[in-house]
Structure 1
Amino acid sequence: MSSGEDEIVGIILAGGRGERAKPITLKSADYIRSKALIPFAGRRLIEWVLDACREQGLRRFYVVTHGLENRNQIKLLLGHGERYGVEIRYSRSRFDRYNVGSAGATLHNLEHWDLQGRALILPVDSLFDFDVAELAETHRASQALVTLATVERTAAEVVGKYGVMQTDERGLVTGFVEKPDEERLRALFPRSVEEAGATLPTNAGMYLVDCGRLRLLAREPELLRQSHQRLDWGGDLLPRLVARGEAVALHTINRLGDLGNVPDYLGTLQHVLDGEYSQMNRLMDAPDEPGARSWIHRSTLLAKDDVTGTTLAQKIDEGSVVIGPGVRIGREVEIGPRVRLEHADIGDGADVREGSTLLRTACGESALIGPYAQISDSYIGPMVEIRSDLHHPATLEGYSAVGDGAVVSAGSRFHGVTVYPGLRVPALAGLPAETQLRTADDILRWM
């Protein structure tokens, strides 16, 4: 977008604490990694967000942060945008006390930054596949105050999980239905429930807004009072705007990937590795083998393991290592013989020892996966050690997650178990799904 009246600026909401995404958002038991800095496909999430917007012409960004750790982590990574070819400003710490809702934080900072034109507001815990120009055209044509980016979902997907919007013949929102049960959904949207393939619009959490008009409304006493207490976009501000007759339009985007919890994180990662995000396809390096969609850094292809003394390239050629579809392997990773990888993301400096299998799994930088470990549908954080051997293989599955620097002993069998950073976990089996090992005391209860 060119500067001037046609310019769209980006406002990135990065003030949340990432509670749902633990342990991905934990660097230690008491040190929260900003959601913006979640590692994803070889970079930090906020870097992908910046690149996706910059590719479509946005050059000025405003980041709404909260708290010392959150603000410092993001600023240390991004600076003021010089490395990324953009300009970045940050919310002031004195506004942190107003950051008690996504809309409240937005309104206070719009005023402080004196923004008058259009702004694209988006959270930092999701991955979007969208077209800014098409979104802007919908916004212009409808003369909307706010245009919501939406994702179309079937009635079965919506029931009890997503809020949906009711619209008039012009396509403007007339009402919001929050996570309806099947009976209410059938009463309000009978055709969408009955017709095969019919879908409903759900809020993607991205908004194109007219800043000047929104600021005028925000100065009204009732809304001003609410913005000092709690004011969210989806649950508070948008229903309020619709109730008073403001034009709120909808625009369908291609795809939304939630990264707010471990299952969604892994699901989104798999979709990206499979090429289902057209924008990420443009931003990522071209895969080494387009059909198989694999990315292996040259330093890793040339790295020799200490068991056979052969390079990964040799092991792939002779068939002793199987690289399936959707695999990204970073720099200087050592891969042993008889390893199988499929829909896996392996961070720089990791060791994947002989006989191990990683399926639909993210493995962080410098992690060590022991021999014959069997890992599927799991998140392995940076510097994690999964100890394993032929007679006592470690097994992790069912959306298990191991936080930074933790050690899991050989013979452990985890299904849907979460291990917090830094813990040393003895061989445990039979833990109920969704068990969370947060402290040494939690471990003692299961021994």
Structure 2
Amino acid sequence: MTGGESSTVGIILAGGRGERAKPLTLESADYIRSKALLPFAGRRLIEWVVDACREQGIRRFHVVAQGLENRSQIKLVLGHGERYGVDVRYSRSSFDRYNVGSGAATLHNLEQWDLTERALVLPVDSVFDFSLAGLEAAHDAADAVVTVASVARSPREVAGKYGAIRTGADGLVAGFVEKPALDRLHGLFPDAADDEDVIPTNAGMYLVDCARLRRAAREPALMRQAQRRLDWGGELLPWLVRHGHRVAAHRIGRLGDLGNVEDYLVTLRDVLSGDYLGMNQLMPRPQSEDPRYWIHESSLAARDDLTGTTLADKIAEGSVQIGPGVRIGRHVSIGADVRLEYTDIGDGAEVCEGARLSGASCGDSAVIGPYAEISDSYVGPMAEIRSARVRPARLDGYSAVGDGARVFAGARLSGVSVYPRLNVPAIAGLPAGTTLTSSDDILRWV
């Protein structure tokens, strides 16, 4: 995948507030963590994005940020790109008022940076398997103003959730259908079976001819729209197609959306399973391929407080079982009789004896108590899942526990989100989709 330097520049759209991903995007109930800084498989999302693009030759990046928290948090991680071997610039704070939607933010900042070359525009809350060279070739062949990266999905997957892309006889995009019902999809794509990945959907990544797009943006109707609200998928692309601008589509390998708790955990599982070829090249080599796992040497040598044995000893003797898709960071303590699969464990975390984790993410310095059962759930940095053999805590159904929160022994959460720093007693029976934002919310269920 690594190649020479590309003339294409990267534009990273990082100004969203991460509302769908709460509590993952919260450091406290009133302090938002930028989506760009979400921890994912041992790094921040924006680091994965920059590295994936750099490996394909992009060396210059422009970050569209928004507001003090968002801009300062991203800059603390990326700086001006020195650590990553790239050059990074940021949108001016005075332009924040123009960033009314992803499309408007792109158009306004193309002018600010005076970009005339080709640019790859991509969000910061997704991971992709894509070939920049393939996108560029399709873009040039179509003589396109914009080439949309598309992902093929089945009709059943698309129905009511994703927008479908219609193409004409010339291969150019003829229109977009936003979240169509299944029967309409069958009308638009009569040869598509419900379980076949054949319907092109917008992946949220765009290769653009900056000079031509800037000229299109000077048309009065589009200028007025960009002052009010202009998103890429719902407004800018349909406007370009309706007004005769050449928009192409090119299929990429894979897209992992990280915009909500379920999608985050599903994508994490796929990455740990090795399903993202690009991510495989960016991650360290696994210690084992069958089962596939990564364990930092400092954690293999760490001794738990109860038995005094190292994790390496426990794995060798079989008292700890490491299944497929496991990543364990630095200085992690793992107790005896622990079972792990498809789980990411951050630096300094503690997993006590008897715990069972599957499809889970545990942030830095999180504590998973004895005999806790956690599946398909997120436990934030410094969160604590208290548990006991006779009263195990159980989390499943895409639950999420925010930073520094504590869940007490005997609690049973299924599809429940807990905001940072809350104390959740031994409650059960909360409906899936419940969000606990304050102690008052908790009191209603006690």
TM-score class normalised by the smaller sequence: over 0.9
Q: Residue 124 of structure 2 aligns with which residue?
A: 124
- Residue number in structure 2 paired with 1:383: 382
| Aligned position for 1:33 | 33
Amino acid paired to 2:147: T
> Could you tell me which amino acid in structure 1 is paired with residue 9 of structure 2?
V
Q: CA deviation at 1:291?
A: 2.1
In the alignment, which residue of structure 2 is the partner of 1:445? 444
Partner residue in 2 for 1:290: 289
1:201 aligns with 2:224: no
Q: Which amino acid aligns with 1:254?
A: G
> Is the Cα contact below 8 Å between 2:153 and 2:196 reproduced in 1?
no
Aligned partners of 1:189 and 1:272: how far apart in 2?
Answer: 30
Contact 1:160–1:180 (8 Å) recurs in 2: yes
SS in 1 for 2:390: coil
Q: Which moved further from structure 2: 156-165 or 345-354? A: 156-165
Residue 163 of structure 1 corresponds to 163
Whether the aligned pair in 1 keeps the contact of 2:346 and 2:362 (CA below 8 Å) is yes
Structure 1 segments, 4+ long, off by >4 Å, are none
Residue 150 of structure 2 corresponds to which residue in structure 1?
150
> Could you state the TM-score of these two structures normalised by the residue count of structure 1?
0.98
What is the match of residue 359 of structure 2?
A: 360
Evaluate the alpha carbon distance shift between residue 207 and residue 314 of structure 1 in structure 2; reply closer, same or farther with a 3 A threshold.
same
Q: Give yes or no for contact 2:4–2:56 (8 Å, CA) kept in 1.
A: no
> 1:62: which partner in 2?
62
- State how many pairs are aligned: 444
Residues 130, 253 of structure 1: 8 Å contact kept: yes
**Residue 341 (structure 2) aligns with:** 342
State the AA in 2 paired with 1:325: P
Q: Which amino acid aligns with 1:111?
A: E
Alignment correspondent of 2:176: 176
Q: Give the letter aligned to residue 200 of structure 1.
A: I
Aligned AA (2:400) = A
Distance (Å, rounded) in 1 between the aligned partners of 2:170 and 2:81: 40
Q: Note the 1:25-424 alignment, pairs <5 A.
A: 25-193=25-193, 197=196, 199-424=198-423
Q: CA deviation at 1:189?
A: 1.6
TM superposition score normalised by structure 2:
0.98
Counterpart AA for 2:338: V
Alpha-carbon displacement from aligned partner over 1:49-72 (angstroms, at most 9, x marks no partner): 000000000000000011110001
- Whether the 8 Å contact between 2:61 and 2:88 is mirrored in structure 1 is yes
- Structure 1: any 5+ residue segments left out of the alignment? none
Report the 3-state secondary structure (helix = DSSP H, G, I; strand = E; otherwise coil) of the residue aligned with 1:20. coil
**Residues 334-360 of structure 1: CA distance to partner in whole angstroms, max 9, x if unpaired?**
000000000000000000000111110
2: CA distance, partners of 1:2 / 1:247: 28
How far apart in 2 are the matches of 1:353 and 1:247?
Answer: 58
Q: For the residues of structure 1 that align with 2:200 and 2:140, how far apart are their CA atoms?
A: 20
Partner of 2:165, secondary structure, is strand
The CA deviation at 1:389 is: 0.8
Aligned equivalents of 2:59, 2:158: Cα separation in 1: 35
Deviations 1:259-313 (A, max 9, x none): 0011100000000000000000000000000221100000000001111111000
Q: Distance in 2 between matches of 1:377 and 1:188?
A: 35
Q: Distance in 2 between matches of 1:282 and 1:188?
A: 38
Compute the displacement of 1:193 (Å). 4.2
Q: Which moved more, 1:167-176 or 1:326-335?
A: 167-176
Partner Cα separation in structure 2 for residue 426 and residue 261 of structure 1: 25
Aligned partners of 1:210, 1:433: CA distance in 2, in Å? 45
Q: Which moved more, 1:364-373 or 1:178-187?
A: 178-187
Residue identity matched to 2:136: A
1:240 CA displacement: 0.7
Worse-matched range after superposition: 175-184 or 366-375: 175-184
Tell me, in whole angstroms, the C-alpha distance in 2 between the residues paired with 1:168 and 1:446. Answer: 55
Shift of 1:385: 0.7
**Alpha-carbon distance between aligned partners in 1 of 2:299 and 2:114, rounded to the nearest angstrom:** 49
Within 1, Cα distance between the matches of 2:289 and 2:186? 43
Q: CA deviation at 1:207?
A: 0.1
More deviation in 217-226 or 27-36? 217-226
Task: Give percent identity, aligned residues only.
Answer: 67
The Cα of 1:197 is off from its aligned counterpart by 3.0
Spell out, residue by residue over 1:129-163, the C-alpha distance to the aligned partner (whole angstroms, 9 max, x if none).
10100100000111000000000011111111111
Q: Which runs of 5+ in 2 are unaligned?
A: none
Equivalent in the alignment of 2:430: 431
Give the AA of the match of 1:21. Answer: A
2:19 aligns with 19
Between 258-267 and 425-434, report the one with greater CA deviation. 425-434
Measure the CA separation in 1 of the matches of 2:113 and 2:197.
42
| In 1, Cα distance between equivalents of 2:276 and 2:397 | 25
Q: 2:264, 2:150 → 1: CA distance?
A: 19
Are the counterparts in 2 of residues 191 and 198 from structure 1 also a CA contact under 8 Å? no
- Measured after TM superposition, the shift of residue 175 of structure 1 is 1.1
Q: Does structure 2 retain, via aligned residues, the 8 Å contact 1:387–1:409?
A: yes
Q: Work out the CA distance in 2 between the residues paired with 1:446 and 1:198.
A: 43
CA drift of 1:427 comes to 1.1
SS of residue paired to 1:231: coil
Contact 1:416 1:435 survives alignment (8 Å): yes
Task: Find the aligned partners of 2:399 and 2:438 in 1 and give their Cα distance.
Answer: 17
